[in-house]
Amino acid sequence: MASLTEFCSLKLTLDFQMIGKVPAGLRLDVPFSGTATSSHWEGERTVAGVDHVTIGAGGVQNLDIQGRIGSGDDVVAYRAIGRGNADGPKELLVFETANEELGWLNEAVAVAVGAIDGNQLALTISVIET
């Protein structure tokens, strides 16, 4: 049976940028930046990326996210898809990194659940363990 192990927590500031009505619904690009904390490193690491959000006719937010945690030799790139609503997102993530200590992430799949307050997002990322 699979279980979840917390990997990191993100605190992000969102910058909502309206694209407008597109065939699939209403499109927003949401650049974000902030910090990540984890038991896998000391202190905080920077986080940056963009979420391409399309809100369909039923109000469901379709999320397409690309981000980076850290910089230089410690960078972890990630890609996520998910769904969101006014309460926050639910995401499925995969990672790429050249960092040897975090190399196990290259084979990992994770889930994230967050809460939004205005333009602030708190997100917890947990790796799926089998």
By residue range, what is the domain housing residue 93?
3-129
- pLDDT category of residue 128 using cuts at 50, 70 and 90: very high
How many whole angstroms separate alpha carbon 97 and alpha carbon 106?
7
Q: Read off the pLDDT of residues 2-32 as tens digits, 9 standing for 90 and up.
A: 999 999 999 999 999 999 999 999 999 999 9
How many whole angstroms separate alpha carbon 12 and alpha carbon 108?
23
How many whole angstroms separate alpha carbon 47 and alpha carbon 78?
11
Residue 5: φ, ψ to 5°: -125, 120
Q: Read off the pLDDT of residues 61-103 as tens digits, 9 standing for 90 and up.
A: 999 999 999 999 899 999 999 999 888 999 999 999 999 999 9
User: CATH code at 13?
Assistant: 2.40.160.20
How many Cα atoms sit within 13 Å of 99 on the Cβ side?
A: 19
- Output the pTM of the full model: 0.95
How many whole angstroms separate alpha carbon 60 and alpha carbon 69?
27
Number of domains in the chain: 1
